[in-house]
Structure 1
Amino acid sequence: MKTNYKKIYTGESFVAQQIVSQLHGMGIEAILKDEAESARLAGFASSMLGQVDVYVHKEEVEKANAVVQTT
Structure 2
Amino acid sequence: MKESNYIKIYTGSFIIAQLITDHLEAIGITPVIKDETESARLAGFGSSIPGLQEVYVTKDELDTAVPVVENVTSELQN
Structure 1: gaps (5+ residues): none
* C-alpha deviation, 1:35, in angstroms: 0.4
C-alpha separation in 2, matches of 1:11 and 1:64: 16
* C-alpha deviation, 1:48, in angstroms: 1.8
Instruction: Give the superposed CA RMSD.
Output: 0.7
C-alpha separation in 2, matches of 1:30 and 1:49: 21
Partner of 1:47: 48
Aligned length: 71
% same residue? 51
**Secondary structure in structure 2 of the residue aligned to 1:17:** helix
**Secondary structure in structure 1 of the residue aligned to 2:9:** strand
TM (normalized to structure 1)?
0.96
TM (normalized to structure 2)?
0.88
Query: Alpha-carbon deviations, 1:5-50, whole Å to 9, x = none?
Result: 0000000110000000110110011011000000000000001201
Structure 2: gaps (5+ residues): 73-78
C-alpha separation in 2, matches of 1:15 and 1:62: 20
